[in-house]
Chains A and B, each alone.
Chain A
Amino acid sequence: MSRLFVARNPRVAARSLGGEVMIMSGRDSTLFTLNRTATILWQAADGCTPLDKIVQERICAEFDVEPAVALQDAETLARELAGHEILQISEEPIPQRNAPAGESR
């Protein structure tokens, strides 16, 4: 099974405020507020850490969930966020240039 890599899309603007991460699409000005799982994914999406490692080290460490189930859910979430052009996903590491900060600015 191939590994998935996730990266923050440099074409969005992001801010963390009061524990919430908000993201605005530069393309159509849509505003997204990320839930806790999406926030973890966003913050860890450096383009070089595989998704399974993010799930194992970050998501399973915070939530009481089976790793296989967590990985499946995380993949679904990553693809959904990619559909909104918030994240980029690839089966290869993704070089990051000018990506929005994972933490608050």
Chain B
Amino acid sequence: MSRPLPDLAAEVERLSLVIEIGGMPVRVHTTDPAFLNMLSHRYCGFVGSSESAEVEFDVDLVPPGFADPDAEVRVIHQVGRWSLERGDFRAEWEPASRRGWIRQSANPYSIDAVLRIVHTLVLARQGGFLLHSASAIRNKKALLFAGVSGAGKTTIARLAPPDATLLTDEISYVRRQDDGYVAFGTPFTGELAKLGENVSAPIAALYLLAKGPENRIDPVEAGEAARSLLANILFFAEDEQLVQAAFHSAFEFVSRVPVSRLTFVPNSQVWELIG
């Protein structure tokens, strides 16, 4: 007795994972179990179970080739569709249908960049932003420590006392809520290479970091606060409306959250001044 022939085009199993950062579930579909496994480890603590994702991405894995992850990011909006491109990935996302695709090799860095960009686009329309800053929760309040590379974000995070909950040592997630702002933990890490906790708290203060001979806190004038904040907001889109939205969000933020300059020497006593 002959056996039936197998289907010539066997259905490829679709695997998926929900990555939930800042309360926004993003579902990633792939056909590669190893890639999915890598993502579930990479975003451990941020893997959600939401059925209805706000964004769904099909990841098309391609063989590694020449790719420059330091190449300039291009984020363009055309006919209701975002196009995202860097040396190591291409992606498209259509907000109306909530669907998109990512073409990249099987590495964690490309999809991480896509997630960061998508979150900046979504947040910009909601009055929030991603900020180059470390952040932590202490006494139920979130504290942000902003600065460019080398300003001390990782150092201040490393010096945090045991009762502080680290949200990130590199990129803070800031969402507008009621009359204030809330910071969420992120898996976007800096030199500490330690994922933030997936929790949130109202933002009580933003400190602009500076290294110096003593620990001290100085007031910052409103204009300087806005300029410094704008300099540290992550924004990639070549889109006038979103640029304007991000600009106004920065001014709203400094009108509602105290901004100070925190000069510190790298010792844990600095945390006695704050939080």
Contact residues of A with B, CB < 8 Å?
Answer: 11-13, 15, 17-20, 22, 24-27, 29, 31, 33, 105
Q: Which of B241, B244, B254 has the most CB of A within 10 A?
A: B244
Q: List 23 A-B contacts (CB under 8 A).
A: A12-B244, A13-B243, A13-B244, A13-B247, A15-B247, A15-B248, A15-B251, A17-B226, A18-B222, A18-B223, A20-B223, A22-B223, A22-B226, A24-B243, A24-B247, A25-B243, A26-B240, A26-B243, A26-B244, A27-B240, A29-B235, A29-B243, A31-B230
A11–B221 CA distance with the chains assembled, in angstroms: 27
Contact residues of B with A, CB < 8 Å?
Answer: 221-223, 226-227, 230, 235, 240-241, 243-244, 247-248, 251, 254
A19–B221 CA distance with the chains assembled, in angstroms: 11
Take A18-B222, A18-B223, A31-B227 as given contacts and tell me if A105 and B248 are in contact as well, using a CB distance cutoff of 8 Å.
Answer: yes
**Chain A contact residues: over half helix, strand or loop, or mixed?**
strand
Contacts of A33 in B (CB 8 A): 223, 227
Contact B240 A11 (CB under 8 A): yes
A12–B240 CA distance with the chains assembled, in angstroms: 8
A97–B166 CA distance with the chains assembled, in angstroms: 47
Contacts of A19 in B (CB 8 A): 223
With CB as the reference atom, state the residue of chain B lying closest to A100.
B244
- Report which of B226, B235, B243 forms a contact with A15, defined as CB distance below 8 A: B226
With CB as the reference atom, state the residue of chain B lying closest to A18.
B222
Contact A24 B244 (CB under 8 A): yes
Contacts of B223 in A (CB 8 A): 17-20, 22, 33
A26–B235 CA distance with the chains assembled, in angstroms: 12
Q: Determine how close the nearest CB of chain A comes to the CB of B220; give it in whole angstroms.
A: 10
Q: Determine how close the nearest CB of chain A comes to the CB of B245; give it in whole angstroms.
A: 8
A1–B223 CA distance with the chains assembled, in angstroms: 39
